[in-house]
Amino acid sequence: MTRMQSVGGRQGEPATSAPAGVASQRCTNADCGARYAIDRVLISCPSCGELLDVAYDRPREERMDWGRFAARSATRGPRHAAGGVATTAALDFSGVWRFRDLLPFCEDAAKIVTIGEGRTNLQRADGLARAMGLGLTDSGGLYLQYEGFNPSGSFKDNGMAAAFTHARMVGATRVACASTGNTSAALAVYGALTGMKCFVFIGDGKIAYGKLAQALDHGATTLQVAGDFDACLARIRHIAEKTPEAGVYLMNSVNPFRLEGQKTIMCRVLEGLDWNVPDWIVVPGGNLGNCSAFGKAFAEMRALGLVDRVPRLAVIQAEGSSTLERIYNDMGVRWEGAGAGELLAGRYDRARVKAEYERMDAANERAHTVATAIEINRPVNLSKALRALSVMDGVVRKVSDAEIVEHKALVGRWGFGCEPASGASVAGAAMLRREGVIKPTDTVVCILTGHALKDPDVTVAYHTGMDMRSVGPGAGAATPRGRISNPPIKVADDLDAILRAMGV
Ligand code: F0G
């Protein structure tokens, strides 16, 4: 096993030249372009501070087709204890590792971590599209990619499978994240599986209860920090980067290996469409890891000849947490790619982004939305998101909390259930359709990033009209105001009354 390098890399040390083998870590900043060995533990580029990519040096002429992947999805699944060395069947069963040829950073298959993540599916949602009045023709259609089917209940498991594999490669024993719920639940599941010690930093009062329950149940050491998600992430990032003696490996999406796993969500969308490319991918944007991963996935799949065109990307933020929306739409900041062959390196106007962050700090602006998963002011993957928007000819929109909650309820009624951030992607699709940006003939895939059982208090509040955070059981009646609110009916323990209430 490779000895664990000091966390955060050896600051100030010159970048290594490209290591032997296909994979390395590469700076996304075209003016830097530093490369580092794949088994170093780095959070950002030690030379310039920008984000890193996992990059693969492939022969320019290398081509792939979907045949090899399609065959693997027929696997019945592993029949051996989880956590040990994964068999080929276990890898094929995983919706992440089935696509391992697209994330070949781990040469030693014995180190690969899997619990059968990514067995998620794509649902054509005609009823929902009709209820939303989307007016899509049969040649197009609305699809929901439901990542809530993952073992811990969100898309995060895709990323954790990859990042824990890297953690194993470097011999990490302690892992940590900041979280509003889903990251911590996923971290705790994979920590329990691999025997790594887990630390979860959560903002005081800022975590969904069910998710907290998961972290506690799986044995993570959970620290409730007096502050919000941004504060927690800054804190844990500092510990991982600047206090190497703590030996903490960071599992938030600033870790580029997380994004490698999350790329496979796009592979599964294509698989669900018989390898056809949709017109739109619509995804909620918080720390912007998912949209970044999707852009990288399509850039790479196009280079390998797996797709001949790229869908458009819509990143949907909440009004109270819309930093990317402001930077992209109001300030017009764009990614400038370094040209063909250097698809993944580029530039953006860092000074303007920095000035905007300073303005936000001076005004003491804090993110605020009912969708806690995207209640993030300083998205760590901002630059990679700009790159994804460039690769996928993307758009960014913001939607109100009322729209988020309404569309979440619509998904629950006519599609899979989902948590509030996922409702934002559907609300965003409706907005883009109203604007005419999405055409009636388009095929639209909304990513539902998490299970309905995150933030259930939001759901119950929508259906009952009661603010579940401020009222206890037995509090007075309230009037629900949602378009499809479905409140429980109070009834006496009396047969006639019950039958009347049942409407039969
Ligand atoms: N959707 C869900 C369900 C999430 O849990 C998150 C992030 C996002 C979307 C945002 O995704 O960062 O890729 O844009 N949840 C973090 C957490 C904050 O702690 O679980 P992104």
Ligand 1 touching residue 253 (CB < 6 A): yes
What the block records as the tokens of 424 is 């934002």
User: 234: buried, middle or exposed (CB in 10 Å: 19+, 13-18, 0-12)?
Assistant: middle
182 Cα to the center of ligand 1, angstroms: 7
Q: What is the pLDDT, as a whole number, of residue 480?
A: 87
Ligand 1 touching residue 148 (CB < 6 A): no
389 Cα to the center of ligand 1, angstroms: 18
Q: What is the pLDDT, as a whole number, of residue 1?
A: 29
Residue range 458-504, pLDDT digits in tens: 898 899 987 655 444 455 567 888 899 999 898 999 999 999 999 99
Residue range 197-224, pLDDT digits in tens: 999 999 887 777 888 899 999 999 999 9
Smallest Cα–Cα separation from 428: which of 327, 322, 276, 299? 322
Q: What is the pLDDT, as a whole number, of residue 318?
A: 98
461/330: higher pLDDT: 330
The percent of residues above 90 in pLDDT, for the chain, comes to 80
184 Cα to the center of ligand 1, angstroms: 11
Q: What is the pLDDT, as a whole number, of residue 337?
A: 86
Average pLDDT of span 236-244: 93
210/164: higher pLDDT: 164
What the block records as the tokens of 137 is 């023709």
Smallest Cα–Cα separation from 177: which of 242, 217, 222, 244? 222
446 Cα to the center of ligand 1, angstroms: 15
470 Cα to the center of ligand 1, angstroms: 25
Stretch among 11-25, 105-119, 176-190, 479-493 having the lowest mean pLDDT: 11-25
Residue range 386-432, pLDDT digits in tens: 999 999 999 999 999 999 999 999 999 998 899 999 999 999 999 99
494/344: higher pLDDT: 494
Q: What is the pLDDT, as a whole number, of residue 305?
A: 95
Average pLDDT of span 362-387: 95
Q: How many Cα atoms sit within 13 Å of 210 on the Cβ side?
A: 14
Average pLDDT of span 430-444: 98
User: Edge-to-edge, what's the strand order for the sheet holding 248-250?
Assistant: 221-225, 197-203, 174-179, 248-250
Q: What is the band of 5 on the pLDDT scale with cuts at 50, 70, 90?
A: very low
Ligand 1 touching residue 228 (CB < 6 A): no
Ligand 1 touching residue 455 (CB < 6 A): no
3/174: higher pLDDT: 174
11/403: higher pLDDT: 403
Q: What is the pLDDT, as a whole number, of residue 9?
A: 34
Does residue 79 have a pLDDT over 90? Answer: no
Ligand 1 touching residue 145 (CB < 6 A): no
Q: What is the pLDDT, as a whole number, of residue 477?
A: 60
Q: How far is CA 208 from CA 101, 155, 232, 327, 380, in A?
A: 36, 16, 15, 29, 22
Return the H-helix or E-strand segment holding 414: helix 401-414
The percent of residues above 70 in pLDDT, for the chain, comes to 91
Separation CA 426–CA 422 (nearest Å): 7
Q: What is the pLDDT, as a whole number, of residue 60?
A: 86
Does residue 134 have a pLDDT over 50? Answer: yes
Q: What's the chain's average pLDDT?
A: 90
Strand duo 23-27 + 35-36: pairing = antiparallel
Q: What is the pLDDT, as a whole number, of residue 17?
A: 38
Q: What is the pLDDT, as a whole number, of residue 3?
A: 31
Stretch among 31-35, 206-210, 231-235 having the lowest mean pLDDT: 206-210
